[in-house]
């Protein structure tokens, strides 16, 4: 086993430790951008549809009536703040929501975060609420490798010859270039063949298991690739992909209720694989993208051209950045350096695609032992202030999770609940707590969406 590999459930995989991630994440300079083609080529194989179900999109889409909004005001509700009090900042995202019922579009929300998001926590609840309101199905984007049984909405396995390269973490885990894709990662395999397998998880609900589109995202610059696939033991026809330096989205003709999906890669030289996706034809997709150990300052290490192509073709309308738990334990006199780095990340996304709107979710409460007491870290206010200033300065919306939780020592109260809403590390949420946060965030987004609709009504009335 090589030095940069560990054994996880019997598999040898390249997964970095979390030690020393924060300092490098904050201080490492951006890598130079490579000049690469900026188009995403779609390859569609339509010779076979496997496991057909009743989930089908009409050949002629008809507008549907949007469901009435129900906006709740739970205790501790905290409003979304806008940059320079620009109340219309999220209007393009809200227009995207309206386009679902009016035009039958599929729009996406990329939910990035640190280990707080692992296992599809928070994202799953936000996705569920939004899909119930606006339509959609499936769990969205999924990486090739995740720790086994980490994600509770989808189970996956993979052959033991896959490697992953990351834009975050120690430099020894970097790839040969900076085309890391939407997960901040790309995946390759050793040898000439590799496989991935997806099955429903015990926690999977109906919307998790159903999907109408399954896509594979890759780039095979050197060698042709053959993709064999099967769903629920029904095999499809091999998809052959010619070598090209252009990133590709390969749509496999499978859909329905997930039992098991198998994908087998064959090539003389491994392609670079960015991930897969389970989606509906229309509605909203909300993608869970945890970056363990990251402080949220690593996106500028991803080549803008590649990420821009992926984002454009995925019709992303909102990016949520939820980081901070790796910053708080590293106490400093001030966090102006963190503010500057966050400003760079926000500006980076604006350059990737000017139409994308960003929402910064402030750091959650965290606590440590102080004498005989467990108390919130004293520097949380300073980290929150840096995040808020960065959002306002660079032009992004901000939502104060710390205040929404209840402020000082709220994580202690959450850990003491029965059942517990937070773990005894006084940092990470249980699924119960994560669900509550997902509900709160959804509620504030819907409150702002209602205001957007009210503004549009007033504009129409005044004409």
Q: Predicted confidence band at 75 (pLDDT cuts at 50, 70, 90)?
A: confident
Residues forming a β-bridge with 368: 375
Report d(CA 118, CA 133) in Å as an integer: 24
Domain that holds residue 428: 8-14+36-54+69-462
Helix (H) / strand (E) element for 40: namely none
Say how many domains are in the chain.
1
Report d(CA 463, CA 285) in Å as an integer: 35
Helix (H) / strand (E) element for 322: namely strand 316-322
138 within some domain: yes
Report d(CA 82, CA 244) in Å as an integer: 43
Q: For 375-430, write each residue's pLDDT tens digit.
A: 999 999 999 999 999 999 999 999 999 999 999 999 999 999 999 999 999 999 99
Report d(CA 312, CA 113) in Å as an integer: 21
208 within some domain: yes
19 within some domain: no
Helix (H) / strand (E) element for 461: namely helix 431-462
Percent of the chain with pLDDT over 90: 68
Two tokens at 225?
Answer: 């690739």
136 within some domain: yes
Pairing relation of β-strands 316-322 and 106-113?
parallel
Residue 134 pLDDT > 90, yes or no?
A: yes
Question: CA 199: distance to chain centroid?
Answer: 20
26 within some domain: no
What SS3 class is residue 130?
Answer: helix
Report d(CA 294, CA 342) in Å as an integer: 12
382 within some domain: yes
Question: What pTM does this model have?
Answer: 0.86
What CATH number has the domain bearing residue 446? 3.40.50.1110
- DSSP 8-state class, residue 242: -
Q: Which of 35, 321, 318 is nearest to 179 (CA)?
A: 35
**Could you give the C-alpha distances from 25 to 179, 241, 377, 385, in angstroms and in order?**
18, 36, 21, 20
Pairing relation of β-strands 213-219 and 248-252?
antiparallel
Residues 6 or more apart whose Cβ sits within 8 Å of residue 406: 76, 365, 413
22 within some domain: no
Residue 63: its pLDDT value, please?
60
433 within some domain: yes
């Amino acid at each position: 086993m090589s030095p940069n590999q560990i054994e996880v459930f019997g598999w040898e995989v390249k997964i970095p430790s979390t030690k020393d991630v924060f300092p490098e994440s904050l201080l490492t300079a951006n890598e130079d951008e490579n000049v690469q083609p900026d188009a995403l080529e779609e390859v569609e194989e339509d010779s076979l549809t496997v496991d057909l179900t009743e989930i089908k999109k009409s050949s002629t889409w008809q507008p549907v009536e949007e469901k009435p909004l129900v906006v709740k005001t739970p205790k501790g509700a905290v409003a979304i703040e806008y940059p320079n009090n620009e109340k219309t900042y999220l209007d393009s995202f809200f227009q995207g929501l309206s386009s679902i019922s009016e035009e039958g579009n599929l729009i996406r929300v990329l939910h990035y975060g640190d280990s707080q998001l692992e296992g599809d926590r928070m994202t799953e609840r936000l996705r569920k609420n939004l899909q119930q309101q606006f339509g959609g199905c499936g769990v969205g984007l999924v990486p090739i490798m995740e720790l086994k049984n980490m994600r509770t909405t989808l189970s996956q396995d993979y052959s033991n010859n896959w490697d992953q390269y990351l834009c975050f973490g120690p430099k020894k885990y970097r790839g040969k270039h900076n085309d890391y894709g939407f997960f901040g990662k790309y995946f390759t395999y050793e040898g000439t063949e590799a496989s991935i397998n997806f099955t429903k998880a015990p926690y999977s609900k109906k919307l998790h298991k159903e999907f109408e589109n399954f896509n594979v995202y890759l780039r095979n610059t050197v060698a042709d690739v053959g993709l064999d696939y099967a769903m629920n033991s029904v095999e499809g026809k091999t998809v052959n992909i010619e070598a090209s330096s252009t990133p590709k989205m390969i749509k496999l003709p499978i859909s329905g209720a997930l039992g098991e999906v198998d994908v087998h890669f064959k090539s003389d030289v491994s392609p670079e694989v960015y991930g897969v996706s389970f989606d509906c034809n229309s509605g909203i997709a909300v993608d869970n993208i945890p970056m363990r150990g990251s402080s949220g300052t690593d996106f500028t290490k991803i080549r803008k051209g590649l990420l821009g192509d992926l984002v454009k073709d995925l019709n992303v309308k909102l990016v949520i950045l939820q980081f901070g738990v790796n910053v708080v334990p590293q106490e400093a006199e001030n966090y102006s350096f963190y503010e500057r780095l966050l400003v760079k990340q926000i500006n980076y996304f604006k350059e990737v695609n000017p139409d994308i709107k960003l929402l910064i979710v402030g750091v959650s409460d965290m606590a440590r032992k102080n004498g005989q007491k467990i108390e919130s870290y004293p520097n949380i206010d300073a980290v929150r202030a840096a995040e808020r200033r960065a959002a306002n300065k660079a032009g992004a919306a901000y939502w104060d999770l710390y205040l929404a939780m209840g402020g000082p020592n709220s994580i202690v109260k959450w850990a003491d609940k029965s059942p517990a809403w937070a773990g005894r590390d006084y940092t990470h949420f249980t699924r119960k707590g994560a669900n509550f946060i997902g509900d709160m965030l959804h509620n504030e987004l819907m409150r702002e969406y209602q205001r957007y609709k009210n503004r549009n009504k007033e504009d129409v009335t005044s004409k």
